[in-house]
Homo-oligomer: A and B are copies of this chain.
Amino acid sequence: MGSKSDLPVMQDAADVLKELGIEYEITVVSAHRTPDRMYSYAKSAADRGLKVIIAGAGGAAHLPGMVASLTHLPVIGVPVKSSNSIDGWDSILSILQMPNGIPVATVALNAAKNAGILAAQIISIADETIVQNLINYKETLKKKVEESADEMKAEQEVKRFTL
């Protein structure tokens, strides 16, 4: 992440990666304040065994795109609605609108959880255990909705309007 102030958002990525059985590391690398650190981090990432990089940043968010320019690994970008952001549009467009040749896999504003799930989906193409974890995860999502529907149905017995 570009700043420690992004941690409350980015923690969601770490949590869901853990839940899905993916090993991860988490650190602060600023494109603008530590460009050399960003260079060495991104350039060495593949050799250090990383498979996917999740980069989150706010405002004029150059971290995801610059990391993508420095590695051949897939890079997932998380637009962060930071305090100096214009409703998040700056962060979204700075991450999403990359030129031809250097993609960033952009997820929704503040959606670090989805970045984690997407990283797991990517890793799962070579790991059957993760496939199963993802299938289970989807099942859990479905069950929660069905429980909501059941609760609402129960409440509705009372509330339902009959002519």
Which residues from chain B contact A162 at a C-beta distance below 8 Å? 23
Whether B93 and A90, one on each chain, are in contact in the complex, defined by CB atoms closer than 8 angstroms, is: yes
The minimal Cβ–Cβ distance linking A12 to chain B, given in whole angstroms, is 8
Q: How many copies does the complex hold?
A: 8
Whether A59 and B23, one on each chain, are in contact in the complex, defined by CB atoms closer than 8 angstroms, is: no
Known contacts A145-B33, A160-B25; decide if A105 and B131 are in contact (CB<8 Å). Answer: no
Q: Which residues of A contact B (CB under 8 A)?
A: 2-4, 7, 14, 17-18, 21, 23-35, 37, 39, 46, 51-52, 58-60, 62, 65-66, 68-70, 72-74, 76, 84-90, 92-111, 113-115, 117-118, 121-126, 131, 134-135, 137-138, 141-142, 144-146, 148-149, 151-153, 156, 159-163
